[in-house]
Chains A and B, each alone.
Chain A
């Protein structure tokens, strides 16, 4: 466990204890009510059910392909493409879920040894940086999808490509919101769960 070092012992004991408590308090204590929490819960379940639908579909699709090919010698040209698009969707939905659960891969292990007050600062900086880059990625994805729509690109035998690509700007934009939310939560004194991976 990280220990309180010089920085917090310098301030008054009650402040130090308060900051330490803030840095270590689990998310659930501070975020159970209020409109943000309701939005968060709704978004979480939409996210989860989309994951269930896409992953379930991918499993059924893969198994159906094997059965059809080996027993009936039937194959669909679009099936492989669809399976690969499912992976893109799962990756982005999973990344969004990882943002919500605070489980992105980071190299922040060193920050665990910081004194509690600085740990909050580090977490806020990290989250804001994540928000900025996610927003930038959402913006470049939006341009990519826009171009694809303009040129009338198609995938899977004639489906407009931008329908399937639209998940990219949407997921990155939501991730940006999520990181901003995390930074605000940190500043207001709730800790975000820090399970390694």
Chain B
């Protein structure tokens, strides 16, 4: 019976039933089997209103959507070009940096490819890189930067793992930079024979770009300075960010019309709602799994095969790469992290380090079929066949994998910036 129900749930999932309904059904059926009153599922769902940090999610998401609706993407590209244009392999590296910063603010939802891809793709072609490289670069940059504050996956991990968000923000910095450096090195090496035409790298141009971006530049300072300076909590930083972006885009620069505001708010809350409804039902299913001792049984099973921290980390990476290929980062976080944490703790893995490894590995999931979100968005956006996009991203995927392995086996890279 239990097996039959499990198979049925897998089948409806593959047919395309909304994931929250599958998890909800699992929780309802599980509690019914335990003989618990089913309103426990509603009580757990109401727990969404009892988590203070959760307030940050709608606010940061709205700010990110509003930023991408205005001309901030163009300013960001121009600024990176003015500041980094002199580097060898310049435009590729510019793309990586601009996409990473933008993704941190828009929550790694594929918005980056749509907002920045349109600006960078033609520019890359003009410089003379080959088509396949450009496609691969843009597609893989779309999820780069989700280790940087204040990205949505980082906040969500902190909420699910009950880890301090500011620690996670600090921990993501160096591994995020490592990912960019490793990918940038690949870009440089790959295009070493392309005759590089330097962009207008004058001081005047740099100054003009900085002036143009003068309203955007305070944002990271407000977010990070405010949090680490102790002026406000993460959720308050989110409120300030949302208000500031609204003020700049609607009142000061007037790049977004007031009449578009309801649409943008709705769009951003569609993403938030899709994530929170999954989180809500997962609160119930996680509780059920803990009640029925799933983590202990899982650990007993794992410890039969995995002896030490190193083998555990290897097994974890393999597991996460498979997981990332079939589940998106948000669902994976709310479903798998509660099970993973107690097991990782038995092997002495720091929960903050685990979070960074988890998110870095799931980042690769954006590029792996069958569900890799970036592949679909890029295929749609650039009107290319999905298999073509897939092959174009392969080298980037392998290079990023190298970075993930370094992040996994070098815990201090994540933990050295923490005040402990």
Tell me the A residues contacting B by CB distance below 8 Å. Answer: 1, 47-49, 51-52, 55-56, 58-63, 65-66, 70, 80, 83-88, 90-99, 101, 103-111, 122-123, 125-127, 129-130, 132-134, 136-137, 140-141, 143-145, 147, 165, 168, 196-197
Complex CA distance for A101 and B263, rounded to whole angstroms: 12
Complex CA distance for A145 and B39, rounded to whole angstroms: 9
Bitwise interface map of B from 226 to 237 toward A, beta carbon under 8 Å scored 1, else 0: 000001100110
- Min CB distance, A131 to chain B, in Å? 8
- Min CB distance, A192 to chain B, in Å? 10
Complex CA distance for A67 and B262, rounded to whole angstroms: 26
Partner of B274, one of A1, A58, A197: A197
Complex CA distance for A47 and B262, rounded to whole angstroms: 10
Residue B348 interfacial (CB < 8 Å): no
Q: Could you tell me if B51 and A122 are in contact, using CB atoms closer than 8 angstroms?
A: no
Q: Could you tell me if A94 and B276 are in contact, using CB atoms closer than 8 angstroms?
A: yes
The A-contacting residues of B in range 210-238, CB under 8 angstroms, are 231-232, 235-236, 238
Residue B269 interfacial (CB < 8 Å): yes
- Determine the chain A residues whose CB is within 8 A of the CB of B238 once the complex forms: 62
Bitwise interface map of B from 271 to 283 toward A, beta carbon under 8 Å scored 1, else 0: 1111111111100
Q: Could you tell me if A62 and B236 are in contact, using CB atoms closer than 8 angstroms?
A: yes
Complex CA distance for A130 and B274, rounded to whole angstroms: 13
Q: Could you tell me if B271 and A91 are in contact, using CB atoms closer than 8 angstroms?
A: no
Complex CA distance for A103 and B231, rounded to whole angstroms: 37
Q: Could you tell me if A84 and B14 are in contact, using CB atoms closer than 8 angstroms?
A: no
- Determine the chain A residues whose CB is within 8 A of the CB of B370 once the complex forms: 109-110
Residue B20 interfacial (CB < 8 Å): yes
Q: Could you tell me if A58 and B239 are in contact, using CB atoms closer than 8 angstroms?
A: yes
- Determine the chain B residues whose CB is within 8 A of the CB of A66 once the complex forms: 232, 236, 239-240
Partner of A144, one of B46, B262, B274: B46
Q: Could you tell me if B18 and A130 are in contact, using CB atoms closer than 8 angstroms?
A: yes
Give 28 A-B contacts (CB < 8 Å), ordered by A residue. A51-B265, A51-B269, A59-B239, A62-B238, A62-B240, A63-B240, A65-B236, A66-B239, A86-B55, A87-B48, A88-B49, A91-B48, A91-B273, A96-B273, A97-B273, A104-B18, A107-B19, A108-B14, A108-B15, A109-B370, A126-B12, A129-B21, A136-B28, A137-B42, A137-B281, A140-B41, A197-B271, A197-B274
Stretch at the interface among B168-176, B323-331, B397-405: B323-331
Bitwise interface map of B from 1 to 30 toward A, beta carbon under 8 Å scored 1, else 0: 000000000001111111111101100100
Q: Which residue of A lies closest to B63 (CB)?
A: A59
Stretch at the interface among B83-91, B93-101, B177-185, B371-379: B371-379
Q: Could you tell me if B273 and A108 are in contact, using CB atoms closer than 8 angstroms?
A: no
Complex CA distance for A101 and B55, rounded to whole angstroms: 24
Q: Could you tell me if B110 and A104 are in contact, using CB atoms closer than 8 angstroms?
A: no
Q: Could you tell me if B277 and A70 are in contact, using CB atoms closer than 8 angstroms?
A: no
- Determine the chain B residues whose CB is within 8 A of the CB of A143 once the complex forms: 38-39, 42
Partner of A125, one of B15, B18, B243, B281: B15
Residue B308 interfacial (CB < 8 Å): no
- Determine the chain A residues whose CB is within 8 A of the CB of B102 once the complex forms: none
Complex CA distance for A105 and B370, rounded to whole angstroms: 14
Q: Could you tell me if A94 and B49 are in contact, using CB atoms closer than 8 angstroms?
A: no
- Min CB distance, A119 to chain B, in Å? 9
Q: Could you tell me if B45 and A83 are in contact, using CB atoms closer than 8 angstroms?
A: no
- Determine the chain A residues whose CB is within 8 A of the CB of B20 once the complex forms: 95, 104-105, 133
Q: Could you tell me if A59 and B243 are in contact, using CB atoms closer than 8 angstroms?
A: yes
- Min CB distance, A66 to chain B, in Å? 5
A141-B45, A197-B110 known; A106-B269 Cβ under 8 A: no
Question: With A87-B55, A91-B280 given, can you name 18 additional A-B contacts, CB distance below 8 Å?
Answer: A55-B265, A62-B240, A65-B239, A70-B231, A84-B51, A87-B276, A88-B46, A91-B279, A94-B271, A98-B271, A98-B277, A109-B376, A125-B12, A133-B28, A141-B45, A143-B42, A144-B39, A168-B45
Q: Could you tell me if B55 and A123 are in contact, using CB atoms closer than 8 angstroms?
A: no
Q: Could you tell me if B331 and A105 are in contact, using CB atoms closer than 8 angstroms?
A: yes
Q: Could you tell me if B16 and A111 are in contact, using CB atoms closer than 8 angstroms?
A: yes
Residue B162 interfacial (CB < 8 Å): no
- Determine the chain A residues whose CB is within 8 A of the CB of B243 once the complex forms: 59-60, 62-63
Q: Could you tell me if B273 and A95 are in contact, using CB atoms closer than 8 angstroms?
A: yes
Partner of B110, one of A70, A98, A196: A196
- Determine the chain A residues whose CB is within 8 A of the CB of B232 once the complex forms: 66
- Return the 7 tightest CB-CB contacts between A and B, nearest first: A94-B273, A62-B239, A108-B16, A91-B276, A144-B42, A94-B269, A95-B273
Complex CA distance for A105 and B59, rounded to whole angstroms: 20
Complex CA distance for A159 and B272, rounded to whole angstroms: 26
Q: Which residue of B lies closest to A83 (CB)?
A: B55
Complex CA distance for A94 and B42, rounded to whole angstroms: 18
Complex CA distance for A91 and B269, rounded to whole angstroms: 7
Q: Could you tell me if B17 and A197 are in contact, using CB atoms closer than 8 angstroms?
A: no
Identify which of B15, B238, B276 gathers the most chain A CB atoms within 10 Å of its CB: B15
Q: Could you tell me if A103 and B270 are in contact, using CB atoms closer than 8 angstroms?
A: yes
Q: Which residue of B lies closest to A64 (CB)?
A: B239
A51-B269, A58-B239, A140-B38 known; A133-B16 Cβ under 8 A: no
Complex CA distance for A97 and B232, rounded to whole angstroms: 31
Q: Could you tell me if B239 and A107 are in contact, using CB atoms closer than 8 angstroms?
A: no
